[in-house]
Amino acid sequence: MVRTIRVDYRDVLREIQLSEERIPVSIRRIAKIFGYRPYMVQRYVDMLGLEEAYKLLQAFERRPPPAIRCNTLKIDCESLTKRLERLGFGPKPVEWCKDYCFRVVKTPTSPSLGATHEYFKGFYYVYRDIAALLPPLLLDPHPNELVLDMAAAPGGKATHIAQLMKNRGFLVANDKAKTRLPALIENLMRLGIVNTVVTCFDARELPLKLRLRFDRVLLDAPCSAEGAIMFDPERKRKTSIEDLARLVAREIEMLYAAIEMAKNGGVIVYSTCSIAPEENEYVVNKVIDLRNDVEVIEPRLNVGSEGLTSFRELKFSKDVRKCLRLWPHRHGTEGFFICVLRRTRA
């Protein structure tokens, strides 16, 4: 029996809301200095302590270097790095993905990474940071599998998945926003992806729209993007606590649907570019509580920090510790969260 759910954001709000009266004047002062909503700074202090929270705020003022993924479907990476070095770029292999992932630690005045002949030929994909490379790696898709990317535009993770599948098998790249589909399609074509079909559905409705069930499902959920403040400083004040509750309610619904789309034994990866536990551990914990057919599993890469098992008065399953967090001040990346789950029966 196919299942979907709806979550009332007001129920979420009651659990995550912090009374303004509980935020000390000292925290309000720090929030004003850095330009944040006070509830966000209070959250950082609650998670990390005052000293480390201050380091986090400072890290958000610095951009990490961009990254590229060599498209091995079209070129060998040694040839690509030599071509980029001749143009004045400095690609440096990423420790946990040395074969085809690179941080670009030096860039020329011209051309930009997105304006080289190599880029337009589809020899590589550009990322603002290395963190976005992790979800497909942890999903670990194989050739000839059936794979779903539930929120795929503009295509960085979908094309990465197809590359790991060696362009074989069947990938469904879905995105709800019609305005984002041209970028997704363009990137699929530019990188020479031929095993992918693009769909346009609300991810929460996919269990009702598609009869297929998948070996692997990626949900890189639309979120507050609070981990990407260094790229978009407006995120410091954009999301009210009520806005956050609405996002969290949708994320719970989407993760529930992602699990519904997996086969028995299928792997699901949930990720956000947020450091808010409300969008991360809280969401995973809620879905685990709602279902009895899913488990959190250890990730195949030893990167980042472990997930939180509590936040203020909220207590999470001890298994949520297996989730991964990337912190800007600890790992030199944008803030990111990834959790790998397995459906235990379908």
Domain boundaries, the chain: 21-59, 67-128, 131-343
Q: For residue 178, give the amino acid letter.
A: K
Integer Cα distance of 326 and 303 in angstroms? 8
Options 70, 273, 323, 339, the catalytic residue: 273
Residue with tokens 């803030």: 335
Cβ–Cβ under 8 Å, residues 218 and 150: yes
Exposure string for 147-163, b = 16+ CB within 10 A, e = fewer: bbbbbbbbbbbbbbbbb
Q: What is the pLDDT of residue 297?
A: 97
Specify whether 273 is catalytic.
yes
Q: What's domain 67-128's superfamily in CATH?
A: Sun protein; domain 3 (3.30.70.1170)
Q: What is the pLDDT of residue 303?
A: 96
pLDDT per residue as tens, the chain (346 positions): 678 899 999 999 999 998 878 899 999 999 999 999 999 999 999 999 999 999 999 999 999 999 999 999 999 999 999 999 999 999 999 999 999 999 999 999 999 999 999 999 999 999 999 999 999 999 999 999 999 999 999 999 999 999 999 999 999 999 999 999 999 999 999 999 999 999 999 999 999 999 899 999 999 999 999 999 999 999 999 999 999 999 999 999 999 999 999 999 999 999 999 999 999 999 999 999 999 999 999 999 999 999 999 999 999 999 999 999 999 999 999 999 999 999 998 7
Distances (CA, A) of 39 to 16, 42, 57: 11, 5, 14
pTM over 0.85: yes
Q: Which two tokens stand for residue 325?
A: 């967090």
E-state strands within 242-316: 262-272, 294-296, 305-306, 310-311, 314-315
Integer Cα distance of 12 and 20 in angstroms? 17
Q: What is the pLDDT of residue 150?
A: 98
Q: Phi and psi (nearest 5°) for 250?
A: -65, -40
Statement: 131-343 belongs to CATH 3.40.50.150:
yes
Q: What is the pLDDT of residue 70?
A: 98
